[in-house]
Amino acid sequence: MDLRISGKRALITGATTGIGRATALALAAEGARVAIAGRNEALLSALRDELASAGAAAPVVIAADITTADGIANVIVGASQGLGGVDILVNNAGGSRPRPGAEANTTDDEWWDESFALNFTAARRITEGLLPGMKTAGWGRIVTLTGAMTARRMNAASPAKAALWSWSRSLSAELAADGITVNCIAPGRINTPQIVNRLFPTEEARRTEIDQSIPMGRFGEPEELAALVAFLASEAAGYITGTQIPVDGGMIRMAMP
């Protein structure tokens, strides 16, 4: 299927590993020019080299911490100038934020603020910074990674991701007449470093989660989710907006950890 995004300009945040990395590869394989943003410059450079080896146009590498105002500005300017504009924005950066233990030496306000800065505010500000160009072009695709579940234990990422979905739904209605679609994807348990190394670091833990919560009987792969990102970014998905699509193997959505 020709997704008709060859030559389109795409920014992917959180592109160092996992879903973001797979998304950059998927969009580049469709002929899009990509800017990849994240905190780890070494991993971004390795991805740049892999894309170049595969014959893709040289990606723009932006090493930045998007929990800061300067980092957000660097991403917006770096992608806009490096690509000459942005047609496709994939807001992928984010992370689980379980309540820290007493030994973490952090106040609740610091914990909440950092989580919302990463999981909500950065996506909102980057989107707002790139919207004028999309409106001028009369075309744009915004795909945002949200959350598929509510944790049984307090995790500051869950309400931040819920805010992201609510904001995206309203934004989709505002932008529809401008030719810009806004959609969300809610990942379940995907084989990414965050899920495998932090949340389920042992085979026993992964098997217990699968048996209790995932009817498909396995964790998903980043490439399976990236394929949906590529479709939602395409011309073919031009009449799809305001949606949140789970990619979770039919997960029972009350997470155990």
* Percent of the chain residues past pLDDT 70, beyond the cut: 94
User: Does residue 28 surpass a pLDDT of 70?
Assistant: yes
What is the per-residue pLDDT for 99? 74
User: Does residue 179 surpass a pLDDT of 90?
Assistant: yes
The larger pLDDT score, comparing residue 31 to residue 196, is at 31
User: Does residue 238 surpass a pLDDT of 60?
Assistant: yes
Cβ atoms within 10 Å of 65's Cβ, excluding its own: 16
* Percent of the chain residues past pLDDT 90, beyond the cut: 76
User: Does residue 24 surpass a pLDDT of 50?
Assistant: yes
For range 195-199, the mean pLDDT: 80
> Are the C-beta atoms of residues 51 and 21 closer than 8 Å to each other?
no
**DSSP labels for the chain?**
-----TT-EEEESS-SSHHHHHHHHHHHHTT-EEEEEES-HHHHHHHHHHHHHTTPPPPEEEE--TTSHHHHHHHHHHHHHHHTS-SEEEE------BPPPGGG---HHHHHHHHHIIIIIHHHHHHHHHHHHHHHHT-EEEEEE--S-EESS-BTHHHHHHHHHHHHHHHHHHHGGGTEEEEEEEE-SBSSHIIIIII--SHHHHHHHHHHH-TTSS-B-HHHHHHHHHHHTSGGGTT--S-EEEESTT--SEE--
- Structural domains in the chain? 9-194+223-245 (3.40.50.720)
For range 166-193, the mean pLDDT: 96
What is the per-residue pLDDT for 256? 45
The string of pLDDT tens digits covering residues 212-226 is 999 999 999 999 999
Predicted confidence band of residue 133 (pLDDT cuts 50, 70, 90): very high
For range 52-76, the mean pLDDT: 95
User: Does residue 257 surpass a pLDDT of 60?
Assistant: no
pTM above 0.85, yes or no: yes
Euclidean distance between CA atoms 63 and 123, whole angstroms: 16
User: Does residue 94 surpass a pLDDT of 50?
Assistant: yes
What is the per-residue pLDDT for 100? 74
